[in-house]
Structure 1
């Protein structure tokens, strides 16, 4: 059995919320701040990666 790769989302704000999706099967909503120097952040619960649109293709 293999595990799914974490989801990657391109966003246009530096502050994003993640609840894992899937309604009741998700996780508690957390607010994440994308650092200006990296351009991306990962959710500590589901490992989803949020990339700011200015850093798309650079990460």
Structure 2
């Protein structure tokens, strides 16, 4: 059995929400703050990696 790789999203905001997508198959909406030092944050529910546009290709 293989595990699907987590999603990576590029965003313009430093504070973002994640609900896992997939409508009813998602997870509760959470608000995440992207640290300006690292430029990315990972969702604690679905492991999606959310990267700020300033750090695209660097993380």
TM-score normalised according to structure 1 size: 0.98
Matched, 1:53 2:53: yes
Take 2:14 and 2:6, find their aligned partners in 1: how far apart are those partners? Answer: 19
Offset of 1:38 from its aligned partner? Answer: 0.3
Q: In structure 2, what is the equivalent of residue 23 of structure 1?
A: 23
Q: Would you say how many aligned residue pairs link Structure 1 and Structure 2? A: 59
The CA deviation at 1:52 is: 0.2
Question: Does 1:36 find its partner at 2:47?
Answer: no
Runs (4 or more) in structure 1 with deviation over 6 Å come to none
Residue segments in structure 1 that go unaligned for 5+ positions in a row: none
Instruction: Give distance in 2, aligned partners of 1:57 and 1:43.
Output: 19
